[in-house]
Amino acid sequence: METDSTKKGAKMNLPFFKYYRIPLILAVSLSLVIITYKSNILLENANVMSYLNILGIFAGAILGIFILDLDYFIHTFLLEPKSEVSNTIKTYIKDKDILGAFNYIILHADQFENKTLNSLVFQVALSIFSMLIVIDPGVPFMIKALVISTLLNTIFRFYYFYLQGFGDDWFWILKKVPNKYVVLVINLIVLIFVGISVHTLK
């Protein structure tokens, strides 16, 4: 029999799992695409390192769905440490309630202004960076998967806020927010960068 506290806990956990289920699906799908498309490289020798690289791709892709959330902790501890939302997040962290902190961020993300990572500037910079890092054979596959996954997640993250009417802050560098057609083209270009990054991965 469920107690009131159990029901309350389940309700509090819902935003986190509901929000991250799509990024998780994208991350796993991206991992499978990379492994399938680059199987000739990954399984060339079929040794322990090959399987570690495969595990690294999954780990990197999954970690990549959380990179953009660093934005809120940068805001909390560096940019606006005395704001109301920052103090609330600090309280969650002080109480060691990390899941609660993420739930709060998900539900109040629109209250964070001038985001650094959740922005067009970072999206463009990461697109260029991904093209450079994937062709470097010295960079671990885990890091490459993390970068590509983060880039893919910028598309989901933008549309998540855009469809709720909070997409303007993504374009803070521009004097005027582009119309929906320009927005679509921008994200299609980013998606192309994701595809090229996977294709040229070494």
Tell me: the pLDDT tens digits for 76-122? Answer: 999 889 999 999 999 999 999 999 999 999 888 888 877 899 999 99
User: Would you say 69 and 105 are in contact if contact means Cβ atoms under 8 Å apart?
Assistant: yes
Helix (H) or strand (E) holding 127: helix 120-133
More confident residue, 43 or 185: 185
Output phi, psi for 140, to 5 deg. -60, 150
For the chain, the structural domain boundaries read 4-200
pTM of the shown model:
0.87
User: Taking a C-beta distance cutoff of 8 angstroms, is the pair 197, 134 a contact?
Assistant: yes
Q: Which residues contact 95 (CB under 8 A, 6 or more apart)?
A: none
Determine the angle formed by the axes of helices 4-37 and 98-108, rounding to 10 degrees.
Answer: 80
